Homo-oligomer: A and B are copies of this chain.
Amino acid sequence: MPRNKSQNQQLRDERREQILSQALMLFAKRGLAATKITDIADASAISQGLMYHYFSSKEAIFVELISRAFDRLNQACRWLEEQSMPPLEKITFALTELLKLLDQDEHAACYHLLIAQATASDAIPDEAKAIILRENTFPYESISRIMAAGQQEGTIKQYDADQLALIFWTSINGLAIYKAVHGTKYLAPNVEILVGMFQSNHL
Contact = CB atoms under 8 A, between A and B. Distances in A.
A147 to B, nearest CB: 11
B192 A123 contact: no
B120 A181 contact: yes
A160 B177 CA distance: 20
A122 B29 contact: yes
Contacts of A119: 177, 181
Interface string A52-79: 0000000000000000000000000000
Contact of A157 (B174, B189, B196): B196
Of A120, A166, A201, most buried by chain B (CB within 10 Å of CB) is A120
B123 A31 contact: yes
Contacts of A157: 193, 196
A193 B159 contact: yes
Interface string A151-162: 000000101100
Interface in A152-203: 157, 159-160, 163-164, 166-167, 169-175, 177-178, 180-181, 187, 189-190, 192-194, 196-197, 201
Identical copies in the complex: 2
- The interface residues of chain A, by DSSP majority, are classed as helix
A30 interface: yes
Interface size bracket, A side: 35 or more
A33 interface: yes
A170 B163 contact: no
Interface of A: 29-35, 113, 116-117, 119-123, 157, 159-160, 163-164, 166-167, 169-175, 177-178, 180-181, 187, 189-190, 192-194, 196-197, 201
Given A30-B33, A120-B181, 15 more contacts: A31-B31, A31-B34, A31-B123, A33-B34, A34-B122, A34-B123, A116-B177, A159-B190, A163-B190, A163-B193, A169-B178, A170-B175, A174-B175, A177-B177, A196-B196
